């Protein structure tokens, strides 16, 4: 293999080191020292050098994304079981916990503890071998979880490599993967825009993201990490939780935002109060505080009772829940025709807000929870999230409760409904469904779309009712005189709306695409399209294959985008819209990219021990357009041969399959890769 020149190696190593440092400043410390543009410039330079020379360090930031989707997750046994925590629901229970510990240890002296927020996410185990992230696994049943390494690598706060003195030979670091509330809300807005059901809370959103077979979906979900514990370790000599967390900080792991060292029950409770007080300002959801005995030898003595350690407890904050009766259930029709059941509640105050509606998400959920009209239900409100029903209080049923069956017709326009295969939502298929049309106009004018100030819910409904706006094209035909005849408008408000419509004519392709309300195209997908297509005309009559070529675009989006841009009526609308004087610029366009599928049509089989993991090699081959198969056959083009190969080698010989080493594979990648990029 051609050797990478020393000076290039140095440049790559320096870029990796610098970029990782800036990533840490940005994602862990929340205090960047360079601009995003500077970061992007260095990142692009690194990517270019890596592609040209094939010299890729395991902790290179480019290794965080780009793996092709998996078929399933492998199972992983935890060396030390991942336990759960006993709960305390009152300060008295915390005091009891503290007394129990002293009794158990027969200690007269005060015991020291750490107290930190309890992150509401999902537990993860990160295994580092010789400082390099080797594997990330979910908790599973505590003994066996799933290998989610590729997904976890996309999380920028997760160190790919740890450096410094005293790095243990092997160490399992545990923490919580979570989603910030802001991100969660943005994600739900985006899903709403695509007609997809919202996640009930940030924990579900984070868990869904971690369990994606396609790591590019995880990458797009912006997850975060807080590390709080240690599993099995070889060559680690930490004496206490405090010492361990201090070490975590020095090797750049994100740790809980508050960790306090205290002695005795009184101090524990004052820190719990402090966390509870500060909780509303946390960017993440915390559902309690975790109290741990600090000294590891005392933890050892205290041991474990069935599935929970005796040395720790979770104090749970009172939940934002209330109980209310369901007066009625209605079916509401969204922009894409998705029909969502909504419970109308007897008003109830939860966490200082009056709640009178709650989403029931879909009929599968209604059935699973057996929710009926007339039921008394527990409703939860988390942050600014739409309230949802947690459970039915079945003991309070009188027998008069009525089930709410799934719709057979659209409740608004009476058209037929359908349920896509595998989907949970029913959808109205009526092309002219008033509910859909109004929702589409509202979406078109909304802030993240065309941003027409003053064209909100109420005005859209009014203009629709009066027959002035039945389509977004009509927005541009509105005249001040028409508005002045309506009850909601006076001279100034009418002029303001006309001005706002005028201002909104100047827009970007990403915004415009999002505004069109194409099924599955939210803000993120719209931006991706804008990056890849110079202007809207390039999308006219597009084939799905052209869209699937774009990384991160799946079949579903490709299908719906191509269906949209092949529909003659839609094309007509687009042309009419352009004639209304829209000025669509595209600052996101990244230029035409050469196709990089030099291994297309080639099948590889891997056997024997390799210098890199199977998954990484598979990703490398598939990234070049090749296919990796698990067994040798007459269709195999190359057998990639590692040390101590198994029977596949013999079989390959019998088929006359060409064998190559890992180094030869890299050479092929380098040669063909650079040919492709020069095309
Ligand atoms: S310590 C022996 N610390 O809560 C278990 N857990 O209900 C040690 N969690 O599975 C866990 N924040 O996923 C610990 N600061 C924190 C935590 C935390 C969230 C989760 C964790 C655990 C669950 C137990």
In a domain, 510, yes or no: no
C-beta of 411 in contact with ligand 1 (< 6 A): no
CA separation, residue 236 to residues 167, 170, 301 (Å): 8, 8, 19
**C-alpha–C-alpha distance, residues 278 and 500, integer Å:** 40
**C-alpha–C-alpha distance, residues 340 and 195, integer Å:** 10
Same domain, 646 and 620: yes
In the chain, how many domains are there?
4
pLDDT at 419 (0 to 100): 86
**C-alpha–C-alpha distance, residues 189 and 611, integer Å:** 43
46 and 62 in contact (C-beta within 8 Å)?
A: yes
Per-residue pLDDT tens for 69-110?
788 899 999 999 999 999 998 899 999 999 999 999 998 888
442 and 515 in contact (C-beta within 8 Å)?
A: no
In a domain, 443, yes or no: no
CATH number, residue 626: 3.40.50.10190
Which residue puts its alpha carbon closest to atom 2 of ligand 1? 83
DSSP, residue by residue, 478-519: --HHHHHTSTT--HHHHHHHHHHHHHHTEEEHHHHHHHTT-T
Expressed in angstroms and rounded, the spacing between residue 23 Cα and the centre of ligand 1 is 26
Same domain, 353 and 367: yes
Structure tokens belonging to residue 203:
């924990």
C-beta of 256 in contact with ligand 1 (< 6 A): yes
C-beta of 140 in contact with ligand 1 (< 6 A): no
pLDDT at 46 (0 to 100): 95
Expressed in angstroms and rounded, the spacing between residue 84 Cα and the centre of ligand 1 is 7
pLDDT at 675 (0 to 100): 46
The residues pairing with 43 across neighbouring beta strands, listed in sequence order, are none
- Looking up tokens 């060559």, which residue turns up? 235
Provide the 10 A C-beta neighbour count for residue 587. Answer: 8
pLDDT at 382 (0 to 100): 64
Same domain, 193 and 94: yes
**C-alpha–C-alpha distance, residues 411 and 177, integer Å:** 40
Atom of ligand 1 nearest to the CA of 120: 19
**C-alpha–C-alpha distance, residues 372 and 346, integer Å:** 14
pTM value > 0.75: no
- Could you tell me which residues come within 8 angstroms of residue 44 by beta carbon, excluding any fewer than 6 positions away? none
C-beta of 123 in contact with ligand 1 (< 6 A): yes
**C-alpha–C-alpha distance, residues 585 and 605, integer Å:** 47
CA separation, residue 146 to residues 122, 136, 150, 179, 512 (Å): 13, 8, 11, 20, 40
C-beta of 513 in contact with ligand 1 (< 6 A): no
Q: Please state at what angle helix 614-623 crosses helix 662-678, rounded to 10 degrees.
A: 30
C-beta of 84 in contact with ligand 1 (< 6 A): yes
CATH number, residue 49: 1.10.287.610
Atom of ligand 1 nearest to the CA of 308: 2
Expressed in angstroms and rounded, the spacing between residue 134 Cα and the centre of ligand 1 is 22
**C-alpha–C-alpha distance, residues 450 and 507, integer Å:** 7
pLDDT at 1 (0 to 100): 46
CATH number, residue 399: 2.40.50.140
Q: Is 164 left (phi over 0), alpha (psi -120 to 50) or beta?
A: left
DSSP, residue by residue, 178-240: E--HHHHHHHHHHHHHTTPPPPSSHHHHHHHHHT-SSHHHHHHT--EEEEEEEEEEES----B
Same domain, 163 and 123: yes
- Could you tell me which residues come within 8 angstroms of residue 270 by beta carbon, excluding any fewer than 6 positions away? 262
Among 598, 602, 596, 597, smallest CA distance to 660 is for 602
Same domain, 130 and 60: no
Atom of ligand 1 nearest to the CA of 84: 24
**C-alpha–C-alpha distance, residues 172 and 234, integer Å:** 9
C-beta of 673 in contact with ligand 1 (< 6 A): no
CA separation, residue 620 to residues 63, 597, 627 (Å): 10, 11, 10
Range of the structural domain that residue 345 is part of: 321-403
In a domain, 412, yes or no: no
Which residue puts its alpha carbon closest to atom 16 of ligand 1? 118
Same domain, 325 and 310: no
Expressed in angstroms and rounded, the spacing between residue 245 Cα and the centre of ligand 1 is 14
Per-residue pLDDT tens for 602-627?
889 998 888 887 877 887 787 777 78
In a domain, 557, yes or no: no
pLDDT at 330 (0 to 100): 95
In a domain, 662, yes or no: yes
Among 5, 133, 164, smallest CA distance to 58 is for 133
Expressed in angstroms and rounded, the spacing between residue 118 Cα and the centre of ligand 1 is 6
Expressed in angstroms and rounded, the spacing between residue 291 Cα and the centre of ligand 1 is 10
Atom of ligand 1 nearest to the CA of 314: 7
Expressed in angstroms and rounded, the spacing between residue 309 Cα and the centre of ligand 1 is 11
C-beta of 605 in contact with ligand 1 (< 6 A): no
Expressed in angstroms and rounded, the spacing between residue 60 Cα and the centre of ligand 1 is 30
CATH number, residue 117: 3.30.470.30
224 and 155 in contact (C-beta within 8 Å)?
A: yes
C-beta of 125 in contact with ligand 1 (< 6 A): no
Same domain, 253 and 379: no
Same domain, 18 and 104: no
Of 316, 331, 365, the residue that ends a domain is 316
- Looking up tokens 């610029």, which residue turns up? 585
C-beta of 229 in contact with ligand 1 (< 6 A): yes
In a domain, 487, yes or no: no
**C-alpha–C-alpha distance, residues 626 and 603, integer Å:** 6
Q: Please state at what angle helix 568-579 crosses helix 555-566, rounded to 10 degrees.
A: 70
Same domain, 347 and 297: no
| Sheet arrangement for strand 132-138 | 132-138, 122-129, 170-178, 224-234
- Could you tell me which residues come within 8 angstroms of residue 215 by beta carbon, excluding any fewer than 6 positions away? 65, 67, 69, 150, 151, 153, 154
Active-site annotation holds for 118: yes
Which residue puts its alpha carbon closest to atom 18 of ligand 1? 118
In a domain, 440, yes or no: no
Pocket test for ligand 1, best of 119, 141, 172, 305 (most atoms within 8 A of CB): 119
Of 403, 432, 463, the residue that ends a domain is 403
In a domain, 587, yes or no: no
Same domain, 291 and 337: no
The 3 state secondary structure assigned to 295-315 is: EHHHHHHHCEECCEECCEEEE
C-beta of 156 in contact with ligand 1 (< 6 A): no
Q: How many distinct helices (H) and strands (E) make up the chain? A: 24, 28
Provide the 10 A C-beta neighbour count for residue 658. Answer: 10
Please state whether beta strands 583-585 and 506-508 pair in parallel, antiparallel, or not at all (unpaired).
parallel
C-beta of 118 in contact with ligand 1 (< 6 A): yes
Atom of ligand 1 nearest to the CA of 117: 15
User: What are the mean pLDDT values of the chain's consecutive 10-residue runs (679 residues total)?
Assistant: 82 95 90 87 94 92 81 92 92 95 90 96 96 95 93 95 90 97 86 76 90 89 95 93 96 96 95 92 92 96 90 88 93 91 91 83 91 94 74 90 94 88 83 90 93 93 94 93 92 95 95 93 90 92 84 82 90 90 90 66 86 80 79 87 84 88 87 51
C-beta of 228 in contact with ligand 1 (< 6 A): yes
C-beta of 314 in contact with ligand 1 (< 6 A): yes
pLDDT at 336 (0 to 100): 85
pLDDT at 33 (0 to 100): 87
Atom of ligand 1 nearest to the CA of 118: 12
Rg of the chain in Å (alpha carbons):
29
Q: Quick one: DSSP state of residue 13?
A: H
Expressed in angstroms and rounded, the spacing between residue 85 Cα and the centre of ligand 1 is 7
Among 609, 658, 663, smallest CA distance to 632 is for 658
Expressed in angstroms and rounded, the spacing between residue 114 Cα and the centre of ligand 1 is 13
pLDDT at 512 (0 to 100): 96
Of 386, 403, 420, the residue that ends a domain is 403
Pocket test for ligand 1, best of 142, 145, 173, 176 (most atoms within 8 A of CB): 176
Which of the residues 102, 118, 419, 506 is marked catalytic? 118
CA atoms within 13 A on the CB side of 458: 6
**C-alpha–C-alpha distance, residues 679 and 552, integer Å:** 23
Expressed in angstroms and rounded, the spacing between residue 219 Cα and the centre of ligand 1 is 24
CA atoms within 13 A on the CB side of 478: 30
Which residue puts its alpha carbon closest to atom 23 of ligand 1? 84
Same domain, 367 and 256: no
Same domain, 91 and 236: yes
């Amino acid at each position: 293999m051609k050797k990478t020149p020393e000076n290039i190696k140095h440049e790559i190593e320096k870029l990796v080191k610098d970029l990782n440092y800036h990533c840490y400043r940005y994602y862990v410390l929340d205090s960047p020292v360079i601009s995003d543009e500077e970061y992007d410039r260095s990142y692009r330079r690194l990517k270019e050098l890596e592609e040209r020379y094939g010299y890729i360090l395991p902790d290179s930031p480019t290794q965080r994304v780009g793996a092709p989707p998996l078929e399933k997750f492998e199972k992983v046994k935890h060396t030390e079981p991942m336990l759960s925590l006993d709960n305390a629901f009152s300060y008295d229970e915390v005091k009891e916990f503290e007394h129990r510990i002293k009794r158990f240890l027969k200690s007269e002296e005060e015991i020291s503890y750490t107290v930190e927020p309890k992150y509401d996410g999902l537990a993860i185990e990160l295994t580092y071998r010789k400082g390099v992230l080797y594997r990330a696994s979910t908790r599973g049943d505590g003994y066996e979880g799933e290998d989610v390494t590729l997904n976890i690598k996309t999380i920028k706060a997760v160190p790919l490599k740890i450096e410094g003195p005293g790095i243990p030979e092997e160490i399992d670091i545990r923490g919580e993967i979570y989603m910030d509330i802001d991100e969660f809300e943005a994600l739900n807005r985006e899903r709403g825009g695509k007609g997809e059901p919202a996640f009930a809370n940030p924990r579900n959103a984070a868990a869904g993201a971690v369990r994606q077979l396609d790591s590019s979906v995880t990458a797009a979900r912006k997850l975060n990490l807080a590390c709080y514990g240690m599993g099995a370790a070889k060559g680690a000599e930490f004496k206490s939780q405090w010492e361990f967390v201090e070490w975590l900080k020095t090797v750049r792991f994100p740790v809980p935002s508050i960790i306090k060292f205290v002695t005795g029950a009184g101090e524990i409770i004052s820190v719990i109060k402090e966390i509870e007080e500060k909780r509303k300002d946390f960017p993440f959801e915390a559902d309690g505080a975790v109290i741990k005995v600090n000294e590891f030898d005392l933890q050892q003595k205290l041991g474990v009772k069935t599935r929970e350690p005796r040395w720790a407890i979770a104090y749970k904050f009172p939940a934002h829940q209330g109980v209310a009766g369901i007066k009625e259930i209605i079916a509401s029709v969204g922009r894409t025709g998705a029909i969502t059941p909504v419970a109308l509640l007897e008003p109830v105050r939860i966490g200082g807000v009056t709640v009178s509606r709650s989403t029931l998400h879909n009929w599968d959920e209604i059935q699973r929870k057996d929710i009926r009209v007339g039921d008394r239900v527990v409703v939860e409100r988390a942050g600014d999230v739409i309230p949802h029903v947690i459970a039915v209080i079945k003991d309070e049923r009188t027998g008069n409760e009525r089930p709410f069956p799934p719709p057979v017709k659209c409740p608004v326009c009476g058209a037929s409904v359908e349920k896509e295969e595998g989907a949970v939502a029913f959808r109205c298929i009526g092309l002219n469904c008033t509910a859909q049309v109004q929702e589409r106009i509202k979406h078109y004018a909304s802030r993240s779309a065309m941003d027409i100030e003053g064209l909100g819910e109420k005005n859209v409904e009014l203009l629709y009712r009066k027959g002035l706006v039945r389509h977004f094209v009509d927005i541009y035909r509105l005249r001040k005189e028409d508005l002045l005849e309506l009850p909601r408008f006076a001279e100034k408000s009418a002029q303001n709306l006309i001005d706002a419509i005028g201002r909104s004519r100047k827009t970007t392709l990403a915004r415009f695409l999002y505004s069109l309300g194409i099924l599955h195209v939210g803000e993120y997908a719209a931006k991706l399209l804008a990056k890849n297509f110079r202007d809207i005309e390039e999308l006219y009559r597009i084939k799905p294959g052209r869209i699937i070529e774009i990384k991160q675009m799946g079949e579903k989006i490709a299908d719906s985008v191509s269906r949209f841009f092949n529909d003659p009526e839609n094309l007509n609308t687009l042309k009419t819209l352009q004639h209304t004087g829209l000025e669509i610029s595209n600052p996101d366009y990244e230029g035409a990219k050469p196709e990089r599928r030099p291994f297309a049509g080639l099948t590889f089989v891997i056997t024997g021990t390799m210098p890199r993991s199977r998954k990484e090699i598979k990703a490398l081959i598939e990234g070049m357009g090749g296919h990796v198969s698990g067994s040798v056959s007459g269709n195999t083009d190359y057998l990639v041969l590692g040390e101590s190969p198994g029977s596949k080698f013999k079989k390959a010989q019998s088929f006359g399959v060409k064998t190559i080493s890992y180094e030869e594979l890299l050479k092929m990648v380098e040669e063909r890769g650079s040919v492709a990029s020069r095309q």
